[in-house]
């Protein structure tokens, strides 16, 4: 199952709900692009809902860690 990303905003917080697999490759690239676009547009608070992410490989975990450490953005998982 490809990664689907649903985006909504509540009280100034951007919520990304992931459904499917967060793995190395196209899916992970799409996730990175989504977060990069949000950050570059000035979003500073992001929550990533992994409730329906049925698989995350080591590259997916690395993406999460990189966003937390290198973006001047509060990101919660």
Is 7 within 8 Å of 15 (Cβ atoms)? yes
Domain boundaries, the chain: 16-76
Other C-beta atoms closer than 10 Å to the C-beta of 48 total: 21
pTM reported for the whole predicted model: 0.75
* Average pLDDT for the chain: 78
User: How high is the pLDDT of residue 69?
Assistant: 46
Q: What pLDDT digit, counting tens, does each position of 33-52 carry? A: 888 899 889 988 888 888 89
State residue 24 phi and psi, 5-degree precision: -60, 135
**Burial (CB count <10 Å: 0-12, 13-18, 19+), residue 47:** middle
For residue 51, what are the contacts with CB-CB under 8 A and spacing of at least 6? Answer: 17
Q: Say which CATH architecture domain 16-76 belongs to.
A: 2-Layer Sandwich (3.30)
């Amino acid at each position: 199952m490809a990664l689907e990303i649903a985006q909504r905003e509540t009280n100034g917080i951007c919520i990304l709900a992931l459904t499917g697999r967060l793995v190395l490759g196209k899916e992970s690239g799409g996730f990175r692009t989504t977060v990069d676009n949000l950050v570059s547009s000035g979003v500073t608070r992001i929550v990533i809902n992994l409730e329906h992410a049925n698989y995350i490989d080591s590259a997916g975990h690395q993406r999460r860690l990189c966003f937390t450490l290198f973006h001047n953005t509060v990101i919660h998982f």
